[in-house]
Structure 1
């Protein structure tokens, strides 16, 4: 991959976590209260159904199991953890917990992908976590213990999904949109019975609620996950994992501009620290300039 193509891929992939950063504000301002499972299901299931119907391609053989596993890790379980953390924790604190994900990706990439990492990645991890800590330093809210635990489970789920997506690649006959659609659909189907059983479908939905769910399905799922999986194919997993930290910067900035929340110099220093960590992790270009590795798995 040429340097300019690498930069373009990096920027396009970064758009996904920037959009995901708006999940916190959409959850609190547009969606019905205390319904993380329903929100997760309505974000993934309609989006996956649309993409699968448009592409009209069925996976074969072992790919049913692989797509189910990826749908669970990348979508079903992760969405629940994300929305639960966004519902029961301050948005910035949920982002701080999720920021452990690059560390997990580094370890899993070393084990499964035989990827190497160096001192730059370690420093980038420290800068990233420190940056997010500075972003949420001014929060004075009681923290829900279960919310913290579920948030950590979400970080593990996302890290595992990123690495396995890179490890397995995708079937050569399956387009990127089809690959994204099946994960969203299967993940949404996993959430459907659980969400209806535990929460039930919310009553008396208004226009604001519908707009929130539509935003999450179209921008937060179809568009952002297509860009995200494209980035996983073309970039090193460690680089992709650090881009995920942008969601916390996005969440804080949206809170400042839309909700009139405070923004201190420490928070600005935290955002700068995160950007430096991303640049530092991306500067290790040993594999950035190599062509993407898509395993020629037979369907």
Structure 2
């Protein structure tokens, strides 16, 4: 059995724990600092692995990828969350697969109707899982959330095109470092101070940073070598599903009928997308030559 899909699943499973961990152990820390430290910590830890030749050969490329995959996305996401209920923001960000397909279409690709249908179904499933808006929506927040999803979609497409010849661990480390410093600067100028962290805060930060973001993005970038972005993006729909299940476990609650239906729609859309997307491609890697697609 190929290990490509289990490795690809690591990312959404880890990212799905971020909301619950942040809510329970980092709620008293400014969100901008949470975002900054979440990127900066794994970047600093992996700094010894970054070769000077990597920056000389791919520096501009790495900065652009870090902006779309982490820095711009994070800033837009937190701005949206400040204006919208978390479930609404999660639903809007779950449009990433649909936006990937639209971008592919504009760039001359031909997404299948099965993939488009799966994307719409997945967004509907996420909405049933997490949507709890009882007040009129802040449309500025809606636009910000959709732009955050667009940033991720662009980042995924650019990574698949320009990140293939960079080892996944170095690709992730460089982006963490660039985005971490940029977000730290934003957090400092916005708050004018650094956060006071307890031991439990640091443990939670290690989980969502070096483990959640670090291992998650490594698996994501590695998977982009074997799986096309129009398939891989659908795995992101599992993030809110994991977040809901973790919340239910921690709060000892039960899924409603609508949430159960939403879960089935999400899982179904992810499975259908793997049938309807493009064929996985064989990618030439920097160190090992040709590796087989899954």
TM range (shorter): 0.7 to 0.9
1:9-64 alpha-carbon deviations (Å, 9 max, x no partner):
12321221121122212222211447222111101112112223134454244621
Distance 2:38 2:55 in 1: 26
Alpha-carbon distance between aligned partners in 1 of 2:200 and 2:138, rounded to the nearest angstrom: 27
Out of 73, 77, 97, which is 1:78 matched to? 73
Provide closer, same or farther for how the CA distance between residues 126 and 32 of structure 1 changes in structure 2, counting only shifts above 3 A: closer
1:153 matched to which residue of 2? Answer: 147
Q: Distance in 2 between matches of 1:139 and 1:47?
A: 35
Unaligned runs of 5+ in 2: 288-294
Worse overlay, 240-249 or 162-171: 162-171
State the match for 2:26 in structure 1: 31
Tell me the secondary structure at the aligned position of residue 231 of structure 2: helix
Matches within 5 A, 1:55-134: 55-61=50-56, 63-86=58-81, 89-112=84-107, 114-134=108-128
**CA distances 1:210-240 after superposition (whole Å, capped 9, x unpaired):** 1221111122221000001111221011111
**Structure 1 residues 87 and 19, CA gap change in structure 2 (3 angstroms):** farther
Q: CA deviation at 1:256?
A: 0.8
2:275 matched to 1:280? Answer: no
Deviations 1:102-160 (A, max 9, x none): 11111222344x43211111210121011011112455467555543332221011001
TM-score after normalising by structure 2:
0.88
Q: Which SS does the other structure have where 2:282 is aligned?
A: coil
Q: 1:205 — aligned with what?
A: 197
Partner of 1:166: 160
SS of aligned partner of 1:245 = helix
Aligned counterparts of 1:126 and 1:201: Cα–Cα separation in 2: 42
Q: Are the structure 2 counterparts of residues 264 and 125 from structure 1 closer, same or farther at C-alpha, using a change threshold of 3 Å?
A: same
- Indicate yes or no: 2:34 matched with 1:43: no
SS at match of 1:59: helix
Q: Using the alignment, how far apart are the partners of 2:12 and 2:101 within structure 1? A: 19
Question: Is 1:238 aligned with 2:230?
Answer: yes
Indicate the residue corresponding to 2:292 in structure 1. Answer: none
1:291 and 2:282 equivalent?
Answer: yes
Residues of 2 paired with 1:115 and 1:194: CA distance? 36
In the superposition, relative to structure 1, how do residues 268 and 277 fare at CA in structure 2: closer, same or farther (>3 Å)? same
2:211 aligns with: 219
Gaps spanning 5+ residues in structure 1: where? none
Distance, in Å, in 2 between the alignment partners of 1:238 and 1:151 is 20
SS in 2 for 1:116: coil
CA drift at 1:73: 0.6
For the residues of structure 2 that align with 1:201 and 1:179, how far apart are their CA atoms?
A: 30
TM-score normalized with structure 1 length:
0.86
Q: Conserved in 1, the CA contact under 8 Å of 2:164 and 2:283? A: no
In structure 2, the partner of 1:175 is 167
Q: Are the counterparts in 2 of residues 27 and 86 from structure 1 also a CA contact under 8 Å?
A: no
* Alignment RMSD: 2.5
